[in-house]
Amino acid sequence: MNKVYSLMFAGVGGQGSLLIAELTSITAVHAGYDVKQTEVHGVSQRGGSVETHVRFGPKVYSPVVTPGEADAVIALEKLEALRFAHFVNPETGVIFVNEYEIIPGSVAGAADIYPYESIAYLRGKGLNVIALPASRIARDLGDGRMANVVMIGALSTRLPLPEASWQKALRTRLPSRYLEGNLRAFAAGWQAVQKEGG
């Protein structure tokens, strides 16, 4: 593989976007690629927007994803998908969106101006959007906090990273008491994309 893959992870503080960016980076390392990852930008407190860039390939010189060049944007919440959609490559990229809404508590009247139709809006712009009920899937598995891992299960369908490398990353990075649930969450994300034909 000669290509360098560029990924953008976005969410709200407390959703675990940094963790799944790290898991993806570890997976790419296990698969033998050079990897660069940025630090978190934004307010990493619960409720603030968080973004992380990951790039991997044979040789990577910069961790920063240029707007319009991301192979995938992984958004853990609908507003964050809208906020970072400009990073995706409009011709070949894909936006993975968790169909979940977090109304900003710090904004007066936020419930009235929240972009509830953001997924339809992005599709209307001609972008490739894969929307998944990741939070619901995670809750059905017993822990809504695993929605982030559902989302990288979905992402794994679009990356040239072997399943064994993903499994190794999950097993080495996650605490043992959370491992089995997250392995199921990862598999559920992969299956959800297959079911949708994405």
**C-beta of residue 11 within 8 angstroms of C-beta of residue 80:** yes
- Residue 198 domain-assigned (yes or no): no
- Residue 115 domain-assigned (yes or no): yes
- Residue 147 domain-assigned (yes or no): no
**If pLDDT is split at 50, 70 and 90, which confidence band does 107 have?**
confident
- Name the domain count of the chain: 1
- Residue 84 domain-assigned (yes or no): yes
pLDDT digits (tens, 9 = 90+) for 38-64: 976 555 555 678 889 999 999 999 999
- Residue 95 domain-assigned (yes or no): yes
CA-CA distances (angstroms) from residue 5 to 110, 161, 163?
35, 11, 17
- The answer, yes or no, to whether residue 112 has pLDDT greater than 90, is no
d(C-alpha 20, C-alpha 76), whole Å: 10
d(C-alpha 76, C-alpha 116), whole Å: 14
**C-beta of residue 126 within 8 angstroms of C-beta of residue 187:** no
With 0-12 / 13-18 / 19 or more C-beta atoms within 10 angstroms meaning exposed / middle / buried, residue 66 is: exposed
* CA 31 from centre of chain: 19
What is the predicted pLDDT for the residue at 57? Answer: 97
**C-beta of residue 90 within 8 angstroms of C-beta of residue 100:** no
**C-beta of residue 84 within 8 angstroms of C-beta of residue 10:** yes
Q: Give me the domain span that covers residue 115.
A: 5-133+155-174
What is the predicted pLDDT for the residue at 39? Answer: 72
3-class SS at 73?
A: strand
- Residue 139 domain-assigned (yes or no): no
pLDDT digits (tens, 9 = 90+) for 79-93: 999 999 999 999 999
- Residue 181 domain-assigned (yes or no): no
**C-beta of residue 185 within 8 angstroms of C-beta of residue 146:** yes
**If pLDDT is split at 50, 70 and 90, which confidence band does 180 have?**
very high
Those residues with Cβ within 8 angstroms of residue 10's Cβ, 6 or more apart along the chain or in another chain = 17, 49, 50, 51, 52, 73, 74, 75, 76, 77, 80, 81, 83, 84
Domain with residue 9: its CATH number is 3.40.920.10
- Residue 191 domain-assigned (yes or no): no
Q: What is the mean pLDDT of residues 106-131?
A: 90
pTM value?
Answer: 0.92
pLDDT digits (tens, 9 = 90+) for 5-36: 999 999 887 788 899 999 999 999 999 999 99
Strand extents, DSSP E, 13-159: 34-37, 41-42, 49-57, 72-75, 94-98, 129-132
